[in-house]
A and B are shown apart, each in its own frame.
Chain A
Amino acid sequence: MAKSADKVHSRNGWAPLTDSTANRTSLTLDSVLGSVEIVEETAEKFARNAGFDEDTASQIAMVSREAAVNAIVHGNKYDPTKRVNASFEITDKELTIQIADEGPGLDPEGIPDPLAPENILRSSGRGIFLMRAIMDEVHFRMLHPGTEIRLVKLRVQKEIHQ
Chain B
Amino acid sequence: MSMKFITREVNGVTILDLSGKITLGEGGLTLRDEVRSIVAKGSKKILLNLADVNYIDSSGLGELVSAFTAVKNAGGELKLLNLTKKVRDLLVITKLLTVFDVKDDETAAIAAFA
Query: Do A69 and B95 contact each other (CB < 8 Å), given the known contacts A33-B24, A121-B69, A123-B66?
Result: no
CA A115 – CA B89 in complex, angstroms?
15
CA A55 – CA B65 in complex, angstroms?
24
Complex contact A115–B90 (CB within 8 A): no
- The residues of A that contact B68 with a CB separation of less than 8 Å are 121
Complex contact B99–A120 (CB within 8 A): yes
Total contacting residues, chain A, CB less than 8 A = 23
Q: Which of B25, B65, B89, B99 contacts A123 (CB 8 A)?
A: B65
Judge if A140 is at the interface, Cβ distance under 8 Å: no
Judge if B93 is at the interface, Cβ distance under 8 Å: yes
CA A91 – CA B62 in complex, angstroms?
35
Complex contact B99–A121 (CB within 8 A): yes
* Among B7-15, B36-44, B53-61, B105-113, the stretch in contact with A: B53-61
Complex contact B65–A122 (CB within 8 A): yes
- The residues of A that contact B74 with a CB separation of less than 8 Å are none
- The residues of A that contact B24 with a CB separation of less than 8 Å are 33, 36, 69, 73
CA A151 – CA B68 in complex, angstroms?
31
Complex contact B65–A130 (CB within 8 A): no
Of A55, A58, A126, the most chain B CB neighbours within 10 A belong to A126
Judge if A83 is at the interface, Cβ distance under 8 Å: no
Complex contact A130–B25 (CB within 8 A): no
Judge if A81 is at the interface, Cβ distance under 8 Å: no
Judge if A114 is at the interface, Cβ distance under 8 Å: yes
- The residues of A that contact B58 with a CB separation of less than 8 Å are 66, 124, 126-127, 129-130
A124 to chain B, nearest CB (A): 5
CA A7 – CA B55 in complex, angstroms?
28
Complex contact B93–A130 (CB within 8 A): yes
CA A129 – CA B57 in complex, angstroms?
12
Judge if A150 is at the interface, Cβ distance under 8 Å: no
CA A160 – CA B96 in complex, angstroms?
32
Q: Which residues from 58 to 105 on chain B have a C-beta closer than 8 Å to any C-beta of chain A?
A: 58-59, 61-63, 65-66, 68-69, 85-86, 89-90, 93-96, 98-99
Complex contact A129–B63 (CB within 8 A): no
Cross-chain pairs A/B with CB under 8 angstroms, 6 sampled: A58-B86, A120-B95, A121-B65, A123-B66, A123-B69, A124-B59
Interface set of A (CB-CB < 8 Å, partner B)? 33, 36, 55, 58-59, 62, 65-66, 69, 73, 114-115, 120-124, 126-127, 129-130, 133-134
